[in-house]
Structure 1
Amino acid sequence: MVIDRLSVARIAAGLAVAWNTANDAILATGQDLLINDPTRLDGVRVIGVDEYVWSHTRRGSKYVTVIIDLTPIRDGNGPSRLLDMVPGRSKKVFKTWLEGQTIAFRDGVEVVAMDGFSGFKTATAEELPEATAVMDPFHVVALAGEKIDQCRQRVQQATLGHRGRSGDPLYGIRRVLHTGADLLTDKQVIRLKAVFASDAHVEVEATWGIYQRIVAAYRHPDPATGKKALYAVIDDLSEGVPTQLTELITLGRTLKRRALDVLAYFDHPGTSNGPSEAINGRLEHLRGTALGFRNLAHYVIRSLLDTGGFRTELHRHL
């Protein structure tokens, strides 16, 4: 299950035993030998916290809080790994998890990467007062991208009176708007200029311009220069934004409120929740392999065995 990522059904068939027999034995052994290893959390200095939808049914809570070890990514010596999954998504959930860890673990955590959810920020401040909270680039750029979409849809409705349809100018460039300026092809540049030539689309162009400045700041090879560039964006959005640019006003409020966390990334380069999103992708693959889960406790154990970083350890002993 850990090394070859086989499903329980395949393992049971190979061993010629019932599914329940194989499942009970595998989960119990994995829990005892791997998950309950008292040294499993040693050396964790950078963690990422995110939410994840584990169940797509209407029965019970469908969210879990996912805690990831990002230390190997920051140090450049390995992939991220899943540390735990906790039912629910709230400040209390993350705070309770942190309280349940050893003092040595909490004292060792230096950086916590997170999205814009204030609950994770507050829990970190209360339980890990010496750690630095970092609002990672993935979510900052995604937030700015959402504002482009909202602005485009608003202007589309105001100018044409309907949602985007094939052939509409703004709808036709919806994906191009999310492409970094340095990656645009000549054809895409021509399309953008043609749409922005209309005075009716000036608000979309202004929002797109802020999005590009944010992307460029994160892509700058010099962290200090990138930090100054993003600080300038936050400063520009803090006041004097025309009232009709409602999306940029709300973006500015969020970035100003979380400015220290946003800018902290440049002091801790490589600290991003991007690997957390990659872990979420692995968990989606696991759900597909198992054809879905009904038992959250089993799902947590299976997820830890699948993405908890045990494959390398087991390969060493083979």
Structure 2
Amino acid sequence: MLAWLSTTPLEWRKKIRYVAIDMSTTYRAAVRIGLPHATVVADHFHVVQLANKMLSMVRRRTTAEIRGRRGRASDPEWKARRRLLRNREDLTDDQFAAMWNALLGEGTIGQTLLTAWIAKENLRNLLALARTGADRHQVGHAPWKFLTWSADSDIPEVRQLAAPVDRWWPEIEAFIDTGHHNARSEGINRVIKLVARAAFGFRNAENQRLRTRCVTTRRARGHLRTAQL
């Protein structure tokens, strides 16, 4: 990344005010060296992705420790695995009640999962403050609520999630203040991978560049009409 930045015009680099990245310390260090005047913003998608991975890890570990085996389709925690990863607002009241009651009645496994799920939702509520005009008290209270719940949960995976959130708080706060993210570049990267996979890889770099450019600029170029015979 630094090598690429060194080849770009200085005037162009000076115009960059914000850089939205995933939670990579390597990228963050490169941005701070190559663009010292720019504000680093943590992309919220990757923050939530960490929380969802944490939930899956808690589910697998508790099932293995308590049941002594991998999860099965008949296990309540296995049945609830997809709803645990969905946003609370995307669940109907009946869906939420079914998930909550089933896990609550399952004992240690369910209660541990619900504790981890609450930590995930606290983190999402923190990120949801972006572009809402929240005052400094709200912005300061939200991470305190998440970090306190994580520390009191006594769940290793939840505490491991809290550590990078605490370290990356300045960048997460920058997202709350600005609302900037890199969803568009992530979407373009996904399309490029799909094109390469459909072509079973490329041996010609120029051909790959042209094909990916054609796909990713289709909306900007508008609908291509076929010739009328």
Classify the TM-score, shorter chain.
0.7 to 0.9
As a proportion of its length, which structure holds more helix? 2
Residue in structure 1 matched with residue 100 of structure 2 by the alignment: 192
Residue in structure 2 matched with residue 213 of structure 1 by the alignment: 122
Deviations 1:24-66 (A, max 9, x none): xxxxxxxxxxxxxxxxxxxxxxxxxxxxxxxxxxxxxxxxxxx
Deviations 1:218-250 (A, max 9, x none): 334624267345422454267x445x4111111
Residue in structure 2 matched with residue 30 of structure 1 by the alignment: none
As a proportion of its length, which structure holds more strand? 1
Does residue 161 of the first structure (1) align with residue 68 of the second (2)? yes
Deviations 1:183-205 (A, max 9, x none): 21233222322212333122211
Matches within 5 A, 1:1-318: 94-189=1-96, 190-201=98-109, 202-220=111-129, 222-224=132-134, 227-228=139-140, 230-236=142-148, 240-242=151-153, 244-269=154-179, 271-296=180-205, 298-307=207-216, 311-312=220-221
Q: Mark the runs of 5 or more structure 1 residues left unpaired by the alignment.
A: 1-93
Q: Mark the runs of 5 or more structure 2 residues left unpaired by the alignment.
A: 225-229
- Retained in 2: the 8 A contact 1:223–1:266? no
Letter in 2 for 1:262: I
Query: Matches of 1:95 and 1:223 in 2, distance apart?
Result: 35
Instruction: Give 1:177 deviation, angstroms.
Output: 0.2
Q: What value does the CA root-mean-square deviation take over the aligned residues?
A: 2.6
Percent identity over the alignment?
25
SS in 1 for 2:81: coil
Query: Matches of 1:297 and 1:307 in 2, distance apart?
Result: 15
Query: Matches of 1:96 and 1:209 in 2, distance apart?
Result: 42
TM-score scaled to structure 1, two decimals?
A: 0.62
Displaced runs of 4 or more, over 6 A:
none
Query: Matches of 2:63 and 2:133 in 1, distance apart?
Result: 37
SS in 2 for 1:138: helix
Query: Matches of 2:89 and 2:220 in 1, distance apart?
Result: 38
